[in-house]
């Protein structure tokens, strides 16, 4: 089993995670998927999450990864897409503004904010057989702590750097209270985001 990431920091953190009893040994490698890929071997499964959408040419990377897939291997990727959320039982201007700031920042950084909706098509173009497509909903539930203030704290420097929003506009000191008040005003759950999974299989005897 091989785990790759372009960040040495992320790999170092992964190495500290205790493996479950009986789990296959993991080899970690620093790899930038936007460039030429090293010879990592042939695989029965190739899995990624929130990676293709940040690459300059996801189709080219998928083609390189498919070349590493053995016959009947599974290639499965989960990506997010900007699709006009959030949604709930009422008007959510503060949540919607934050959602737009986040996605506009990703787009300004070169992220492909619609890739997830084209992923199955890209896989079929490479001769892969798409076996499963599904979406997982990210929900904000009333009376449970929201992850949005923490997300915003991490995203804020990037928003400011890209000119998407100012610190004053985001007002992080009052953000948690404002989001909570808005959520309580509409009640129910808020659909914040969707994660799209596409799983495809390499053709038998291909490559």
Q: Is the pLDDT of residue 207 over 50?
A: no
Report residue 47: phi and psi, to 5°: -130, 135
Q: Please give the mean pLDDT across all residues of the chain.
A: 93
The per-residue pLDDT for 6 is 85
CATH superfamily of 32-201: Vaccinia Virus protein VP39 (3.40.50.150)
pLDDT: which is higher, 207 or 21: 21
The fraction of the chain above a pLDDT of 70, given in percent, is 98
Look up the pTM and report it: 0.86
Beta strands in the chain, from DSSP E residues, in sequence order: 2-5, 27-30, 43-49, 69-80, 129-140, 190-201
CA–CA separation, 140 and 163 (whole Å): 27
Token pair 């930038």 is found at 32
What's the pLDDT tens digit per position in 183-206?
999 999 999 999 999 999 997 654
> What pLDDT does 27 receive?
87
Q: What does the domain layout of the chain look like in residue ranges? A: 1-31, 32-201
- Tens of pLDDT along 14-62? 888 877 767 788 888 888 888 888 888 899 999 999 999 999 999 999 9
Residue 205's pLDDT is 52
* Mean pLDDT, rounded, for 130-159: 96
70 Cβ partners below 8 Å, 6+ apart? 42, 43, 44, 202, 207
């Amino acid at each position: 089993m091989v785990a790759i990431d372009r960040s040495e920091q992320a790999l170092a953190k992964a190495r500290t995670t205790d493996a479950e009893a009986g789990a296959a040994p993991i080899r970690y490698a620093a790899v930038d998927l936007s460039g030429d890929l090293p010879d990592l071997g042939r695989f029965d499964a190739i899995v990624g999450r929130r990676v293709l959408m940040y690459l300059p040419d996801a189709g080219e990377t998928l083609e390189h990864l498919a070349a590493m897939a053995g016959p009947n291997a599974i290639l499965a990727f989960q990506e997010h897409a900007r699709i006009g959320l959030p949604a709930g039982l009422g008007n959510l201007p503060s949540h919607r503004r934050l959602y737009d700031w986040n996605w506009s920042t990703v787009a300004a950084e070169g992220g492909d904010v619609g890739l997830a909706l084209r992923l199955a098509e890209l896989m079929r173009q490479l001769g892969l057989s798409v076996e499963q497509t599904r979406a997982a909903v990210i929900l904000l539930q009333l009376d449970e702590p929201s992850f949005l203030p923490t997300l915003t704290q991490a995203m804020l420097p990037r928003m400011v750097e890209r000119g998407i929003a100012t610190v004053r506009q985001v007002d992080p000191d009052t953000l948690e209270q404002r989001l909570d008040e808005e959520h309580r005003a509409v009640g129910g759950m808020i659909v914040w985001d969707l994660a799209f999974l596409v799983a495809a299989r390499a053709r038998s005897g291909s490559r």
